[in-house]
Amino acid sequence: QVQLVESGGELVQAGGSLRLSCAASGLTFSNYAMGWFRQAPGKEREFVAAISGDGSVINYVDSVRGRFTISRENAKKTVYLQMNSLKPEDTAVYSCVAGPTAQYMDRMGAQYWGQGTQVTVSS
């Protein structure tokens, strides 16, 4: 059974930083692209970032490029999202995902999803 468990979400002031973590189990981690989606209240779910199994391909939505960094440690079966210069519009539930491709995860979605962690950015 595949499990993706996120952690690290909390309330932070605008301009601050957070690091989200996602621990995976039940899958051959290095065979999967990993990524993050987010959903704000009343809005559609949005792709945020993805990284290929070997870390060579990374993809970001334009609104976070230059502020967020996705990384992974295959030995620990963990993917991270470092979020800097946070803005109130980054407030959302952030979900960790696993799928076949990082390059097209924004269009293709993902195969496995975590429950999500709440990130709230106050102004």
Mean confidence (pLDDT) of the chain? 97
Residue 71 — very low, low, confident or very high, per pLDDT cuts 50/70/90? very high
Q: Is 121's pLDDT higher than 90?
A: yes
> How is residue 10 annotated by DSSP?
-
> Residue 114 — very low, low, confident or very high, per pLDDT cuts 50/70/90?
very high
Calpha distance 22→79 (Å, rounded): 5
What is the mean predicted confidence (pLDDT) over 33-52? Answer: 97
| Confidence at 109, pLDDT banded by 50, 70, 90 | confident
Is the pLDDT assigned to residue 108 strictly greater than 90?
A: no
CA distance linking residue 103 with residue 91, whole number of Å = 25
SS3 state of residue 19: strand
